[in-house]
Structure 1
Amino acid sequence: MHRRRRTALVLSAAIAAAAPLLTACGSDAHPGAAAVVGGQRITVAQLENRVNEVRKAQRAAVPDETQYQQVLASTSGLTRDTLHNMVLDRVLHRAAQDEGITVTRKEVLQMRTGLEQQAGGAKGLETAWLQKYGIAPEQLDDNLRLQLEAQKLASRLGTDTSQPAFWKALSQASEELHVDLNPRYGSWDVQKSSRVDAKTPWVREVTAGAQQQTT
């Protein structure tokens, strides 16, 4: 993952990627889990709920069916992007904890108020975050908390989120948390603190079969 893409993910929590059409339920080691981070599962159901929040918001924002289909096509990697962000949230939070960093509710509200003023109101901010970053309104505050943690962590390290020192801290947190992704979603690159697609033959075969059934 290029530095520019990694930085955008931390600060915006949204990266586009292609997602295979799979229906299996969890890996053998962690049935029903999309990922295990620090011994805590992110279940497939939790992931699907998060994705559904985004799709529901997109549907409400784009009532025209043709335009909505275009939105779906442009965000075809939403499931993998969302899981990536859910894992990275925990990795970044761990890195912030390691440095004694906390973010208060007041700080989140202050940041949101400032952004709402720039966006022309609460609705404008929600729409902007949905369109630009694939963040549903229900997750907006959590995303802002993530950004504040990233900013504080970079400041504590005397760097910024585009520099190796910042990503080294995330890499260390990834190691501490022993991130384990369900193979259907790829794998976690500890050094880059990033999800990567797995080169697994059965994934390609199942994906191809699913696509044939839908054509």
Structure 2
Amino acid sequence: MGKAFGRPVRITAAALAAAGALAGCGGDRQVGTAALVGGDRITVTTLSQTVRDWRSQFAKDSVANQMRSNPNDPTGQIGADSGESDVRGALTLLVNFRVAARMARDQGVAVQESQTDAIVSLLDQRGGSGSFTLASGLPRERTRDVARFLATQQLVMRRFGADGNPQSPQTAQAGQNWNQLFRTTADRMHIKINPRYGTFDPARGDIGPVAYRLSSPETGVER
């Protein structure tokens, strides 16, 4: 994304480090829950509508399609590819937003609306903030959520010594610190993912494909 954010960190990096599929049985199951993030519930209805809106909008946005298909553009690294992976990518981002918000509170970082506005403006200069959001795997109405995430990343990395130069050792180290703090924060939030959407891959830091077993997949999230 250039000097505003630095290249060491992407929006899905270090996501959901403590999350995973819930393989057990019994307990207090919340049917209709896609994920639980620190007590905050993301419903299956919300996730499904988000993906439907995204697919409809993305199909009509040629700029977003170009961003997503260009391997040299950072947005090409964001979100998922197609089909079920679209759902996993969207859910990962919705969870990431909540983890970043908690991390900002823990660090005493207050993201002002003006700072979010500045990110939106910058994205508008680089192909359009709405198109960038679509390339990320979310519908246009999530643009400010994406911008707020990036503003949070920018502010926290500055605290870690990022100097605005994506090639500098200081920014690289700040990116590593961000990733580690993101994982630690996610771990404390006791994130739980509905197994129907896949399993957590600690090496990739996102939600991987469903690992089918002989028994039927669970349909709810256990606490």
Query: By the TM > 0.5 criterion, same fold?
Result: yes
2:52 is matched with: 52
SS of the equivalent of 2:207 reads strand
1:108 touches 1:145 (CA, 8 Å); kept in 2? yes
For 1:17, the equivalent position in structure 2 comes to none
Residue pair 1:167, 1:192 contacting (<8 A) in 2 also = no
By percentage of residues, which structure has more helix?
1
Q: Residue 80 of structure 1 aligns with which residue?
A: 88
Q: Distance in 2 between matches of 1:139 and 1:152?
A: 20
Q: Identify which of 115, 123, 130 aligns with 2:123.
A: 115
1:158 and 2:161 are equivalent in the alignment: yes
Matched, 1:127 2:131: yes
Cα 1:43/1:129, change in 2 over 3 Å: closer
Determine whether 1:101 maps to 2:109: yes
Q: Which residue of 2 aligns with 1:211?
A: none
RCO higher in structure (CA 8 A, sep ≥6): 2
Q: Distance in 2 between matches of 1:57 and 1:96?
A: 30
Report percent identity of matched pairs. Answer: 26
Deviation at 1:40, TM superposition (A): 1.7
Inter-CA distance 192–169: structure 2 relative to 1 (3 Å threshold): farther
Question: For the aligned residues, what is the CA RMSD?
Answer: 3.2
* Distance apart, 1:104 and its partner CA: 1.2
Asked if the contact 2:133–2:146 (Cα under 8 Å) also holds between the matched residues in 1, the reply is: no
Q: Which runs of 5+ in 1 are unaligned?
A: 14-26, 63-72, 207-215
Number of matched pairs? 172
Question: Cα deviations across residues 156-178 of structure 1 (Å, max 9, x unaligned)?
Answer: 12354774322211111112110
**Cα separation, partners in 2 of 1:74 and 1:176, compared to 1, 3 Å:** closer
> Per the alignment, in what secondary structure is the counterpart of residue 30 of structure 1?
strand
Distance 1:6 1:54 in 2: 27
CA shift, 1:102, in A, is 1.5
Shift of 1:106: 1.2
- Over 3 Å counting, the alpha-carbon distance change for 1:85 and 1:128 in structure 2 is closer
Check whether the contact 2:9–2:179 (CA below 8 A) recurs between aligned residues.
Answer: no
Cross-structure match for 1:171: 183
Q: Is 1:140 matched with 2:140?
A: no
- TM-superposition CA deviations, 1:61-104 (whole Å, max 9, x none): 37xxxxxxxxxx95221111000111111112111111011111
1:187, 1:93 → 2: CA distance? 23
Equivalence for 2:29? 29
CA–CA distance in 2 between the matches of 1:28 and 1:186?
20
